[in-house]
Every structure is written in C-alpha cells, then in structure tokens.
Chains A and B, each alone.
Chain A
Amino acid sequence: MTLHATTDPQLMPDAAARPIIHPVWVRVTHWLNALAMLIMIGSGWQIYDASPLFDFAFPRQIALGNWLGGALLWHFAAMWLLMANGLVYLILGFATGRFRRKLVPIYPREVLGDLFTALRGKLSHADLSVYNAVQKLLYVGIILTGVVIVLSGLSIWKPVQFHYLTSFFGGYDTARYVHFGAMAAIVAFLVVHVALAVLVPKSLRAMIIDR
C-alpha cells in the first residue's frame, strides 16, 4: 500500500486559508503530557501517603497503585513518558519558534488588563491562535514548573548519583517539599485550565482537531 499526501481540496477544505491554531506536535505532546501527568500525580499521592510531609493524606480512592510498591512502579514508568514527551515539546517549542512567537513578551500591565477583562467575562476568544497575556504567563509558568518537578524528582530519586542537583534543591528533605510544591502548582493550574476549557469549549476542540 502506498501513502499519498492529501492534497484533495475536498478532503482538506480551507486548509491553506485557515491559520493553524495548534500544530499536530503540540496536540500530541499535550495529550501525552496530560496522560503522564495524571499517572504521575495519582501515583505521587499514593507515594506521599507512605510518609506524609504535612498533616494530611490523600484519600486512597483517588490515589493510584493500590499500595506504595504499586504506586512506585507507576511513577517510575510514567516518568519516562513525562520526560521524553516533555523534551520533545521543549525542543520543538524552541526550534519551531512557537515559544518565541506565542509566549513572549509578557508585560505585567497587559496581564493585569487581560485578567480584569477575563474576570468580567469580556475576554475575546475569537482568535485561538493568539494567547492573551494571562495565558502566556500561565503557560510559561507551567512549563517552568514542569522543569522544576522533573529536576526535583530526579534529585529525590538519585540523591547520591545526582547529589549536586539534590544540593541545588536544598538537600534531600527540602527537595521533597519542592517536588510537592511543584505538584500542588500543577494541580492548581490543572483546575483552572480544565475549568476554562469547559467554559470555552472551542479551545478544547482546537486542542483535539485544530479547528
């Protein structure tokens, strides 16, 4: 069987005219990341419960892996997906110029302005290919948090082999708090992110079928 590039206008209506909102690599890495994050967070909660840092534990019903050993298996499997996918995303984000085009510059004045407009429910979502200033700030923030959670995680996993990294995060015990804090930030982002995607359903559609 041979594969033909699809050029039939009937199969690809207005392909040329329509601006690309999310190229396929963004959509694929987005959903792979979503899967990896859910597994990492769910199993991470179970691992946390084995030796809680704070005066609370995550309910077992929402934690992944049945017991500590199972959760660790999930955590150290999904980490490969998270890291490999994250690396592809970062490389393509820089290489294609998408980060430069879409995520910077960020001006505090614009962030505040867009935030108030959004809170009054008047923020325009006509062109999904352009991010507002609040989106830019949150997306840059979550990418950096992703880097922090991976590096702090590596420093907890290998505090001997990567002891310089562990020291960078303030030592083994402190690195656990950093790792937890990054998780909390990601979960907070996730709540807002999903809520907004539900409020603006076409943004969800764009992340799936790019239209």
Chain B
Amino acid sequence: MARQRKPPPGVDPRLLIKDAAKLLPEPSRRRFLRGAASLGALAALTGCDIIDNNTSENALRVISTFNDRVQALIFNPNTLAPEYPESKITRPFPFNAYYSEDEAPDVDADKWELEIGGLVDNKKPWTLPELYKLAEVSQITRHVCVEGWSAIGSWQGVKLSDFLKMIGADLTAKYVWFQCAEGYSNTIDMPTALHPQTQLTLKFDHQILPRAYGFPMKIRIPTKLGFKNPKYVTAMWVQNNDAGGYWENQGYNWFSGL
C-alpha cells in the first residue's frame, strides 16, 4: 500500500532536509541533497523515523560535548600509548582518507612552508630543510581508526611540545588548529598537543614521509583516533577558540581520545 507520511505541522520539510543533510559526510551529503526533492527522501525524514531524526541528533550532540569533557578528564598527560617492536609494524600500512590515493595532495616540497599563526611569539614560517634539522624522536604506535580497524606504524619527527616551546607559543592557550593542503582541518586541545608522544611527523619508518601518509608533514597523535591525525599539514595556529575540523563538524566526537 502506498502510504505517504506528512511532515509534522510547523516543520518545513526543506529545512528539515537541510538540517539532516548537515549531519552527513560530504560526499553522501551532496548525493543526499541531489535526491532531496524526492518524496521518498521526505518520507524518510518525517513521520515515524523518530530515532533517526534531527531533534534526536541535536540531543546526541549535546551528549557528545559532555563526552568531550569526560574524555578531557580521563586524559592523563603522563599516560603513554603502548609502543611496539618493529616486527609488529603493519605492512603495508594502509592509506586512509575520504578520497582515493591518487586524489591525495601532491605537495611541492620546494614551495611548501609550515605557516605558524595565532598566539605565538615567532611566526616565521618553516621550510622542510629547517624542520629536518630539528631533533628527531621516534615511535612505533597503534593508529586506531574511528571505523574500528587499527594498524601499527613507525613515525619519526619533532616532538610537538618542544616545537611549541621553541617558537614561543602560548602554552596556556586552549587549542592548536591544523590546516591541510586539501582543505582538511583539525583542532586539538592543548594538553594533547603537549603530550610527550604528539609529533610533527616528517618520516614513516625512517624514510621521508610518502605522499600516501601525508607528505611533507602529518601530526601523529597516538592518544587520538586516526582522523585527529591530520596529514599534508600546511599551517598551525595556537588559539583560544575551537575552529572545529572536517569530520568533527559532521558529527564525529570532537575529543576522540584513545
């Protein structure tokens, strides 16, 4: 039987679709909006689907913000992510992004500079040769994806806390915001930025970071889910306002600590 659900009174179906679409990841959002004119999409959003509708998503986001605070409390700045022997490294280490590998940014090393901004004394941009000269730290840790899978990788680079101190960053600021070549971004909390294992990563397994893993620089944070480890980083800002991030803005938990 063909039964059409009517939108609840006082609810503009177009706005409802717009709001719900905001919760979808970028590619599906576009697909979704294209098909939004159909009655089927409208029926899916109204009527009985109370557990998947917009109001409950808003309530869930409030709880997610509460979970951010709980995770900040659980976060112990001295607890280290377990480290593994070289034999445990996942080979090949997976490429992972919301685009395919051949769509990954192809950064020109000669033109690339790490832009520094916000609450920092020395905002001089950094070239790759300058970064390669800094003291190197190394870790073999587990990358845990929000999807559930995990892989163990070997990363080398500069300890972020040392770097922040060196450039005279205000360590009492609340956030560090990273921007990436393809438009990806992340904001992390200062305690995580200062964690001893948080790294400006320039190498994977002692080789210059390959394009697939974020050349020329990624941020390795073994205390956070993979999507909070930005690749192809072009800028770093120290600031007191939360600038959000690519996935965080679409509904992934902001703190996403491990």
Which residues of A come within 8 Å of B, CB atoms?
47-48, 50-51, 64-70, 72-74, 76-77, 80, 156, 158-161, 163, 172-173, 176
Residue contact A66 to B23, C-beta cutoff 8 Å: yes
Stretch at the interface among B11-19, B72-80, B111-119, B178-186: B72-80
Q: Bound complex: CA of A107 vs CA of B65, how far in Å?
A: 48
Residue of B nearest to A38 (CB): B51
Q: Which residues of B contact A159 (CB under 8 A)?
A: 82, 142, 144, 258
Residue of B nearest to A74 (CB): B60
Q: Which residues of B contact A69 (CB under 8 A)?
A: 23, 25, 247, 250-252
Q: Which residues of A contact B247 (CB under 8 A)?
A: 69
Is B81 positioned at the interface, with any CB of A under 8 Å from its CB? Answer: yes
Q: Bound complex: CA of A175 vs CA of B57, how far in Å?
A: 29
Residue contact B79 to A161, C-beta cutoff 8 Å: yes
Q: Given A159-B142, A172-B144, A172-B150, decide whether A70 and B23 contact each other with a Cβ distance below 8 A.
A: yes
Closest 10 CB pairs of A and B: A69-B251, A51-B148, A50-B147, A73-B60, A51-B147, A77-B63, A160-B258, A51-B149, A160-B81, A160-B223
Is B121 positioned at the interface, with any CB of A under 8 Å from its CB? Answer: no
Q: Which residues of A contact B223 (CB under 8 A)?
A: 160-161
Chain A facing B: main interface SS? helix
Q: Given A76-B63, A158-B74, decide whether A70 and B144 contact each other with a Cβ distance below 8 A.
A: no
Smallest Cβ distance from B68 to chain A, in angstroms? Answer: 10
Instruction: Kindly identify, within residues 1 to 50 of chain B, every residue whose CB is under 8 Å from any CB belonging to chain A.
Output: 23-25, 28
Residue pairs across A and B with CB atoms within 8 Å: the count is 84
8 contacts between A and B (CB under 8 A): A48-B148, A68-B147, A69-B23, A70-B57, A160-B79, A160-B258, A161-B75, A161-B258
Smallest Cβ distance from B118 to chain A, in angstroms? Answer: 27
Chain B facing A: main interface SS? loop
| Count class of interface residues, chain B | 35 or more
Which residues of B come within 8 Å of A, CB atoms?
23-25, 28, 51-52, 57, 59-61, 63-64, 67, 74-76, 79-82, 142, 144-150, 222-223, 247, 250-253, 257-258
Q: Which residues of A contact B146 (CB under 8 A)?
A: 50, 68, 72
Q: Bound complex: CA of A168 vs CA of B65, how far in Å?
A: 29
Q: Which residues of A contact B257 (CB under 8 A)?
A: 158, 160-161
Residue contact A73 to B251, C-beta cutoff 8 Å: yes
Q: Bound complex: CA of A211 vs CA of B74, how far in Å?
A: 44
Q: Which residues of A contact B253 (CB under 8 A)?
A: 72-73, 76
Smallest Cβ distance from B212 to chain A, in angstroms? Answer: 19
Q: Bound complex: CA of A73 vs CA of B25, how far in Å?
A: 14
Q: Contact check: which of B61, B64, B82, B147 meets A163 at CB < 8 Å?
A: B82
Residue of A nearest to B256 (CB): A72
Q: Contact check: which of B28, B60, B80, B258 meets A77 at CB < 8 Å?
A: B60
Q: Which residues of A contact B28 (CB under 8 A)?
A: 67
Q: Which residues of B contact A76 (CB under 8 A)?
A: 63-64, 67, 253
Smallest Cβ distance from A55 to chain B, in angstroms? Answer: 15
- Supplied contacts A73-B64, A172-B150, 4 more A-B pairs, CB within 8 Å: A69-B25, A77-B63, A160-B222, A163-B81
Residue of A nearest to B62 (CB): A77
